[in-house]
Amino acid sequence: MRVTVSPGVLAWARERSGAEAGDLERRFPNLAGWESGEGSPTLKQLESFARATHTPIGFLFLDEPPDERVPIPDYRTMGRAGVGRPSADLLDTIFLCQLRQEWYREFALVTGEGQVDFVGTLNPSTPVPEAAANIRTALRFDTDERGQNWSEALRLLVDRAEEAGALVMTSGVVGSNTHRKLDPHEFRGFALVDSVAPLVFVNGADTKAAQLFTLMHELAHLWLGGAALDDASPAAPPSTSIERWCNEVAAEVLVPLDVVRAEFDAGQPLSSELERLARNFKASTLVVLRRLYDAHFLGNWDAYRSAYEAELHRVLEILAERAGGGGNFYSTQPVRVSKRFTRAVITSTLEGQTLYTDAFQMLGFRSAATFQQLADHLGVA
């Protein structure tokens, strides 16, 4: 049975998926004809096309492409290039996190966890040094409390944010689908604010040092009490005063300006000082570079932008070389989904309050054996 589908909707679904045109054409040899209106797919072909493009099947029966919008405030600037249509990967990631947040909110209310006390306690008029000191103290994340390297610093910050009541999810893919990799050029993170179940998501496809800045930026949004989607960067021109405040607070938490002024050695090459200070603060060299500019060590804005572009190019080359290596599933999955959330789902399921099928969907797998092994790994009886 052939199905009449709007050529414009088919083209929209293809573009929205982010899939290579050649890949889709190999799977659907008649796609060009469908999009030109010279042919129509069968119902089974349309269902396969919907799965391949991660498109809800109902959308493909519309006369015009739907106007999909990000369901939370969008503060991305995308390097002044303008923010385009959100990808299926981005939207599905936000919707999945909203589902998890709603589940955890109900769980927290049933178990009597109460409200998370830091959410909404600051506002954009709070002086940056004061806000940074407040957050740094609450998370026990002073400059001498960050471990030995970027990975350890990130792990410590995630653990302490979750101890404070936040759900922290860090992943470079949609759910557990390693074929749907998230693009850090589209977004770096987002915050979903709730007084009981505040949640932050960090794009794990970025470098560890960049993830650290993104996480701190999103946590600043929780302290403000407002949801946000960001391409958080120390050099990105903020789209609003809120983004500027969150950027400044994140930078001050990670790299306090008074410490930078005391430790920077202007007599050394800039590259070696960036590396040294980045190791000391467990922050990215790009954040350190911005703080050197803030401390008036780099001259004018043009000099800073030139140094920033050169350092960004170097960092991106390093990131490209790091591709691959997913690690141990039982260690990485709780990081993707949040250890706090994972323990809650496992506990609720073992107690008979949550169906196994629902637990599998929220945790990102389908095996009872995997569920049990994950429970054992986290020490949940």
Phi-psi region of 126 (alpha: psi -120 to 50; beta: other; left: phi over 0): beta
Q: What pLDDT, on a 0 to 100 scale, did the predictor assign at position 156? A: 93
Residues 6+ apart with CB under 8 A from 250: 213, 216, 217, 219, 220, 232
With cut-offs at 50, 70 and 90, classify the pLDDT of residue 223. Answer: very high
pLDDT in tens, 328-345: 777 788 889 999 999 999
Distance separating alpha carbons of residues 233 and 217, to the nearest angstrom:
9
At residue 156, what are phi and psi to the nearest 5 degrees? -65, -45
On the question of pLDDT at 347 being above 90, the answer is: yes
Q: What pLDDT, on a 0 to 100 scale, did the predictor assign at position 327? A: 62
Which whole number is the average pLDDT over 281-306? Answer: 88
On the question of pLDDT at 245 being above 90, the answer is: yes
| Between 316 and 43, the higher pLDDT residue | 43
Residues 6+ apart with CB under 8 A from 162: 168, 338, 339, 340
pTM of the model: 0.89
On the question of pLDDT at 277 being above 60, the answer is: yes
Kindly report which listed range (26-35, 66-75, 326-335) carries the lowest average pLDDT score.
Answer: 326-335
CB 195 within 8 A of CB 115: yes
Q: How far is CA 31 from the centre of its chain?
A: 33
Closest CA to 182 of 199, 167, 200, 204: 204
With cut-offs at 50, 70 and 90, classify the pLDDT of residue 320. Answer: low
On the question of pLDDT at 276 being above 80, the answer is: yes
Cα dihedral sign for 94, 95, 96, 102?
A: positive
Mean pLDDT of the chain: 89
With cut-offs at 50, 70 and 90, classify the pLDDT of residue 145. Answer: confident
- Strand pairing category for 167-171 and 199-203: parallel
If one counts every other C-beta atom within 10 angstroms of the C-beta of residue 117, the result is: 11
DSSP H or E stretch at residue 9: helix 7-17
On the question of pLDDT at 315 being above 80, the answer is: no
On the question of pLDDT at 21 being above 80, the answer is: no
pLDDT in tens, 161-191: 999 999 999 999 998 888 899 998 899 999 9
On the question of pLDDT at 284 being above 90, the answer is: no
With cut-offs at 50, 70 and 90, classify the pLDDT of residue 100. Answer: very high
| Between 260 and 145, the higher pLDDT residue | 260
Which whole number is the average pLDDT over 306-326? Answer: 70
CB 83 within 8 A of CB 76: yes
Distance separating alpha carbons of residues 258 and 295, to the nearest angstrom:
8
Kindly report which listed range (45-49, 117-121, 204-208) carries the lowest average pLDDT score.
Answer: 204-208
Q: What pLDDT, on a 0 to 100 scale, did the predictor assign at position 321? A: 61
On the question of pLDDT at 82 being above 60, the answer is: no
Give the three-state DSSP class for 103.
helix
Q: What pLDDT, on a 0 to 100 scale, did the predictor assign at position 322? A: 55
On the question of pLDDT at 233 being above 80, the answer is: no
On the question of pLDDT at 98 being above 90, the answer is: yes
Question: Which amino acid belongs to residue 235?
Answer: A
Which whole number is the average pLDDT over 273-293? Answer: 89
Q: What pLDDT, on a 0 to 100 scale, did the predictor assign at position 282? A: 85
On the question of pLDDT at 57 being above 60, the answer is: yes
Question: Which amino acid belongs to residue 345?
Answer: V
Please state, for a pLDDT cut of 70, what percent of the chain lies above it. Answer: 93
Q: What pLDDT, on a 0 to 100 scale, did the predictor assign at position 1? A: 78
Instruction: Note the residue count of the chain.
Output: 381
With cut-offs at 50, 70 and 90, classify the pLDDT of residue 235. Answer: low
Distance separating alpha carbons of residues 144 and 249, to the nearest angstrom:
18
On the question of pLDDT at 203 being above 60, the answer is: yes
Q: What pLDDT, on a 0 to 100 scale, did the predictor assign at position 78? A: 59
Lookup: tokens for 227:
């949801």
